[in-house]
A and B are shown apart, each in its own frame.
Chain A
Amino acid sequence: MDAVKAFLRHPSGMAGFVLLIIVLIVAITAPVLFPVSPWEMSGTPFTPPGEDGMWLGGDTLGRDVAAGVAHGARVSLLIGIASALAAMTIGVMIGAISGYFGGKVDLVLMRVTELFQTVPAFILAILLVATFSPSLLTIILTIGAVSWPPLARLTRAEFLRLRGREFVEAALCQGESTARIVLGHILPNAISPILVVVSLTVATAILLESALSFMGLGDPNLMSWGFMIGAGRTVIRQAWWMSVFPGLAILVTVLAINLFGEGLSDVLNPRVSRRRA
């Protein structure tokens, strides 16, 4: 548990962790804090912040922006985490196969990975969501589908590095099976840099979701931050609060996750973190 201790001593990592906990608490308690649906048109349109019992103001239809921000935390975190996990599943699988088996398999898989990295990810995401029409599932799968290449490359690199490590060769010489070598030796040693990148993928996934929602390609039944900013964009003159607050929410959440992820990275694998941006 040295890692935990080291993390506790990591100032920016802890700052991120605390912020993240706050966002999580807001997300979990949103139905308690704002029992009325964030879609309920309870106030007058364009209520400025503080008036009419709405601390963050009201939107075009008189809905409470604060309720939207709180409920939006659930959506953003859900989509962020779920799509990062989707990306991880794809990326680790491809990277592991590529890195462990090498040769032609590796060549083909890496070409595919490169292709996915070459096509502008956001435009691909727009195309995918628009093609299969926006819903929670399609958005998660889409973000997963455009976010996996870095994870695949990292996993591959880790597998390549570890496969050549002498303890893996020793395990081979000791007669251990391929499955045990991969699951028992390589994966546990590769997992910490992968987890770090997955945590950072959550942040980019949240940004991607917000950008999609902003462009009107979000799930119309979900009050997400990107959707709120998109809805507030045209009325920025009348109601700056409609776009400012959800934007700050994204900023804080993404910042928290980045800080947390980097702290994690510094603690778990100083070797990788020095190379990363």
Chain B
Amino acid sequence: MTGTRSTARIGLLVAAWIVRLVAIILVIATFNFVLVRAAPGDPAMVMAGQSGAADPKILDDLRKEYGLDKPYLVQLGTHLARVLTLDLGYSYRQRRPVLDLILERLPATLLLTLTAFCLALLIGTTLGALAGLVAGSIADTVFTVLSLLLYATPVFWLGLMLVLVFSVTLGWLPPFGYETINAKHTAIERIFDIMKHMIMPVISLAAIYLAIYARLMRSSIIEVSHQDFIKTARAKGLARPRIVVSHMLRNALVPVVTVAGMQAGALVGGAVVIETVFAWPGLGRLTFEAVLQRDYPVLLGIFLILSVIVIALNLVTDLIYRLIDPRMTTEAA
């Protein structure tokens, strides 16, 4: 129960997570590799084909460059060895190292997904908690209907509707992009500019998760409010606000945090569509372009990185979970 012991536990936990991460990375790398090779189409052909007219020499060169002439097992071995040294390969289509390509897109994606994630979690749990506390009231019904509607809305369509209303009709918000290019803004103006560009993509991406977390929080609050220790708290003579804050919220958050961690993957997936709708220069768009161009190294790299991000988000939620629930520190990972 002492500080050093729990610090040591967290350290051990993180170490365990890293082992797990490496294992998962290797499996995913293998999985991706196999999948991508199973696809029809010859990558050398694509790269050359783009040039206007291919010729066998160029194709041969490319095959050699990428080792496409070697047996699959050798390719896989080389691939895994590279992955472990953080060398995600070289994109012959983009003619740049994959890691560079990903790293320059990563901040935009992280900005978008993390903002959406935090916003959804914050607003969702707040609204859900409020609705749960007044369960059965008109406000709760309105909330339930709205969250059900949001939950059923396709993300990309929501984005389009926002563009239709706020950009096309009202002209309030920029319909695409990350910032006003070459605007020669000061640092502060630039931040505001980026924020303005973020509003619609973040809302579109966050909406569905907001609905999910809110609904979850609502039912969680209702469930907690029926538990014995709430009765104990009432029997102690605690006032309702105190019961809510000090006994209900934290207990109700436990399942929400668990689900939030599990939704991280879906959130990153949603970013692909949203980045396409809003021309957001992030990893999602890079993914889509890479799929269309069958850019093998880029695809493999993106999948690894996204998996790492998801696992990292899982780790964060897991740590939060442990922070909230002391039982978890001593029990199974």
Contact = CB atoms under 8 A, between A and B. Distances in A.
A and B touch in the complex (CB under 8 A): yes
Contact of A251 (B32, B149, B223, B314): B149
Contacts of B259: 277
A115 B28 contact: yes
B265 A118 contact: yes
A258 B35 CA distance: 33
A211 interface: yes
B39 A122 contact: no
Interface string B139-156: 000000000110111111
Interface stretch (A35-43, A47-55, A127-135, A179-187): A127-135
A252 B270 CA distance: 20
A121 B311 CA distance: 14
A131 B35 CA distance: 8
Nearest to B294: A130
A236 B168 contact: yes
A118 B318 CA distance: 14
A120 B39 contact: no
A104 interface: no
A250 to B, nearest CB: 5
Contacts of A119: 28, 265, 303, 306-307, 310
B154 A211 contact: yes
Contacts of A214: 154, 156-157, 273
Given A131-B36, A243-B160, A255 B270 contact: no
Nearest to B145: A12
Interface string A242-277: 011001001110110011000000000000001111
Contact of A247 (B157, B265, B272): B157
Given A236-B160, A236-B164, A122 B270 contact: yes
B222 to A, nearest CB: 8
A217 B219 CA distance: 37
A118 B314 contact: yes
Consensus secondary structure, chain B interface = helix
A149 to B, nearest CB: 10
Contact of B265 (A120, A251, A254): A120
B161 A247 contact: yes
Nearest to B218: A277
B266 A122 contact: yes
B16 interface: no
Contacts of B223: 274-275
Contacts of B163: 236
Given A120-B265, A123-B303, A203-B152, A130 B273 contact: no
B262 interface: yes
Contacts of A203: 152
A177 interface: no
B10 to A, nearest CB: 22
Indicate the size class of the contact surface on chain B: 35 or more
B212 A251 contact: no
B160 A127 contact: no
A189 interface: no
Secondary structure at the A interface, as helix, strand, loop or mixed, is helix
Nearest to A248: B157
Contact of B310 (A120, A229, A247, A276): A120
Interface in B237-281: 255, 259, 262, 265-266, 268-270, 272-273, 276-277
B183 interface: no
B40 interface: yes
A126 B157 contact: no
Contact of B277 (A117, A127, A233, A252): A233
A172 B142 CA distance: 50
Nearest to B311: A118
B104 to A, nearest CB: 19
A215 interface: yes
A247 B163 CA distance: 14
Given A126-B287, A131-B39, A132-B39, A211 B161 contact: no
Given A215-B273, A247-B160, A120 B306 contact: yes
Contact of A120 (B24, B32, B269, B277): B269
10 contacts: A117-B262, A118-B28, A119-B310, A120-B266, A132-B40, A236-B164, A247-B161, A255-B148, A259-B148, A277-B215
Interface of B: 24, 27-28, 31-32, 35-36, 38-40, 148-149, 151-157, 160-161, 163-164, 168, 212-213, 215-216, 219, 222-223, 255, 259, 262, 265-266, 268-270, 272-273, 276-277, 287-288, 291-292, 294, 299, 302-303, 306-307, 310-311, 314
